[in-house]
Amino acid sequence: MSFWTIYQWHTLRVILVGCCLSVSAMEAGAVVKQVTATFNPDPGNPLKNEFKNTTPNEGVCQTLQQHCKAHNVFSLRSHEVIALNGPIEPNHADVRKGAMIKTPAGWRTLTVKERQSGEETTVEVRIAGIAGRYELSHTVQELTGNPDNYRGHRALWGERWDNPPSPCISIVSAYYGPDHYAFFWLTPEEAVCNKQAKFLIPGFGYRGLDFVYELRTPNPLKMSTGIYEGTQVYSIGPNGDFDLGDIVVPSDAVIQLDFTLTVEHTLKVEIPPGGNKVELVPQGGWQAWLNQGRRPTRLFRDQTFNISSSNRFKMQLECQYSDSNTCAVRDPESDHIVPLNISVSLPNGLTDANGQPVKLRPLRLDGSGTELFQPGFYVDRKPGTLHFEITRDQVEQMLNDGAAKQYSGNVTVIWDSEV
């Protein structure tokens, strides 16, 4: 006599690859820059669950990669040229009438929305520094009378340009020439950093002006697969978010950052060969009954599987035969139906909506209790178990008349990432 059931296994793999194109309305007089970041789970580093900034660096962080990496910052070029303007009077008392820099160094929060579902989350960005080179209408020799370039620039401001006032911090010793001086300043606070000219400067401007930014991205494990977009807008000009004083006035009044965050989740379930057919047997097999006449108290089988998941998911059942809120197996001769209890145990790293481990969690037809499972980190091919059981009371009914029977039924177990 054999008691067995068959279930069908559905393996769901979700990998959605999105491009990094953001379409947004360009404001008049705006510099528009794309910022892209991607998350896809790394089997070689499953505990590192964060977005990777895929935006190509422009300007200073393209050249000084190690310095930017050390400070966890990136750079984009906002302006190739900000035209010479002036004059800057010597020993000016008003900082706005000279060379000054203030950036939006505080964290700004923006909303990004998934293109199709409308799911929302937030990104934080701050402008962590500014770089470029200032340009003069005349050489420092002509302005200061000092024939040496280095000493001429120092004399022009009364100190080295790459020694900025607090709270700005210079990153590198910059290069210079007769009419220009390159720099890279970090701006840890939203405050004015200025230089007072000691000589008349008829014209002053910038070339290759870069802004350096830092990101705080959301937890991708709490996001659905998809492409999320949002925009952060800054003003640039006198008294703007980017403030270069009253002398230096850019032709563009806005810097617009268009964000595109792409989430590429994996949900994959694998079973060993032959694992789609399960035979329920008593503890120790059938020999105890056949040899000793000991009736089985329950029929059960555990079927292991390997799961890889960086995504939230739910689990559901579909049944060939059902009894109340669970699946069932049936004997075709007697038409007798017996409830089949099915439960699941998930590996460490996967919890329910309350953050609790998933051990022997019942699977029900209405999906109650298995509406949400979520990873705390990327789970890569870790073992879980499906538990199948027919209880003692039901086994008694199956054996009651002593006739040979064969119970079977198809069960579909679904892992669904559409939560």
Q: What is the DSSP string of 236-296?
A: BSTTSSBB-TTT---S--EEEEEEEEEE---EEEE--TTTTEE--B-TT-SHHHHHH----
pTM: 0.83
Residue 13 reports pLDDT greater than 70? no
| CATH fold for domain 5-12+267-416 | Immunoglobulin-like (2.60.40)
- Cβ-count burial of 113 within 10 angstroms (0-12 exposed, 13-18 middle, 19+ buried)? middle
What span, in angstroms and rounded, lies between the C-alpha atoms of 390 and 326?
12
More confident site: 31 or 18? 31
Residues 305-321, mean pLDDT to the nearest whole number: 96
Non-local CB neighbours of 52 within 8 Å, separated by 6+ positions = 37, 38, 39
Average pLDDT, the chain: 90
Residue 196 reports pLDDT greater than 80? yes
Residues 177-203, mean pLDDT to the nearest whole number: 97
Residue 30 reports pLDDT greater than 50? yes
Q: How confident is the model at residue 161 (pLDDT cuts 50, 70, 90)?
A: very high
Q: How does pLDDT run across 236-258, given as a tens digit for each residue? A: 999 999 999 999 999 999 999 99
- Cβ-count burial of 274 within 10 angstroms (0-12 exposed, 13-18 middle, 19+ buried)? exposed
**Closest to 131 in 3D by CA, of 57, 21, 240:** 57
Q: Give the Å distances, CA to CA, from 15 to 21, 48, 154, 223, 225.
A: 19, 19, 57, 14, 8
- CB-CB contact of 156 with 202 (8 Å): no
Residues 55-69, mean pLDDT to the nearest whole number: 96
Residue 398 reports pLDDT greater than 50? yes
Residues 51-58, mean pLDDT to the nearest whole number: 97
Structure token digits, residue 322: 């059902």
**Closest to 39 in 3D by CA, of 13, 22, 61, 20:** 20
Question: Domain map of the chain by residue range?
Answer: 5-12+267-416, 30-263
Residues 96-109, mean pLDDT to the nearest whole number: 97
Residue 345 confidence (pLDDT): 98
- CB-CB contact of 301 with 388 (8 Å): yes
**Closest to 329 in 3D by CA, of 391, 275, 390:** 390
Q: Residues for the chain: how many in total?
A: 419
Q: Could you give the residue ranges of the DSSP H alpha helices within 145-219?
A: 149-157
Residue 21 confidence (pLDDT): 26
Structure token digits, residue 360: 């022997």
